[in-house]
Amino acid sequence: MAVGTSTAAVLLVFACAGLASASSFLSRAQEANVKDLTPELEASILEEIEAVLGSSSHGMTEDRLARIEGMLRATFQSLPKNEQGRLQHAAVRYALHSYFVQRHAWHVRGLDSFNENINGSSPANILQDKVEDFVQAAFEQRMGSHGLDLKDMAVLAATYENLVHKELAERLDATFRIMSRSGEESFTAEEADAVVDVYMMGYILNLNYTVIPPQKLPIITGNINKIYPTWPATQDFLRSMRSGSSFQKSRFTRFDIEALLELVFDNYGRWQDSQTGNQNRRGQACHKNP
């Protein structure tokens, strides 16, 4: 039965009011997620760099570094070097950008400025973020002022990966908290999916779950489809990652969910690119065949 005009208008008003209220709440939650380069964060980054470069190696196996070197080698060889045969700050940024896109499909902001500045006096600010800039500057200072060779860059790339994994783990802790979970329990496949969904909602909407009370979670889950219309397609992508051969199990631990999220982010950028390409092709088809 068709809904009357007045009824439809009332429903629309209530829907818009609910979304506006949710958007206001989400905006406040997003503002609280700005990552400042605090002294505590600086100390944590410096500690990570020292651990990476120290005798403990901090997970820096020779096989891992050799793999990263192999992926960086072609880019390293193609870039201009200083008199010591090393790459300077801007070139290091470009090489790392290429590595992260190739290995993780992590798209780094500001790449377009690189070609204009690579031969200039001022380095291109490829990452354009205080945290990443501090990591590279601290690493370069620790290694000396003569630039980085291929192995140095592999260690720096691995350091970034370690820091990203730490942030993933911290976000997962906050996800468990807002879901009133400890993270120590065993999860069914459906429960693991729910954790990954809530994690990705926070990631996509740039929310800081550490400051959002658990009772506010229904506002996020109840409005995600309105705020982010491609959420159903995102869920299909997340389920496809979980249904891979490595995750064919009936119970999941926190370690399993961390591994699943790492797999998600190794493929998320490419999946987003494919979605954009599909949307563009559909738009062109509609334009040609109205």
Would 118 be classed as within a structural domain?
Answer: yes
Backbone angles phi, psi at 243, to 5 degrees: -80, 0
159 and 215 share one domain:
no
127 and 227 share one domain:
no
144-163 confidence digits (pLDDT tens): 768 889 988 888 888 888 88
- Mean pLDDT is highest, among 30-34, 91-95, 237-241, 269-273, for 237-241
Band the pLDDT of 44: cuts 50, 70, 90. Answer: confident
What was the pLDDT predicted at 106? 58
Q: What tokens were used for 210?
A: 């550490």
What was the pLDDT predicted at 90? 87
Would 233 be classed as within a structural domain?
Answer: yes
Q: Indicate the pTM of the whole model.
A: 0.69
Q: What tokens were used for 194?
A: 């729910």
Burial class (CB in 10 A: 0-12, 13-18, 19+), 12: exposed
112 and 210 share one domain:
no
What was the pLDDT predicted at 198? 97
What was the pLDDT predicted at 60? 65
48 and 158 share one domain:
yes
Would 65 be classed as within a structural domain?
Answer: yes
Cα-based distances in Å from 122 to 88, 90, 125, 129, 131: 11, 8, 9, 17, 19
Note down the domain range covering 100. 39-163
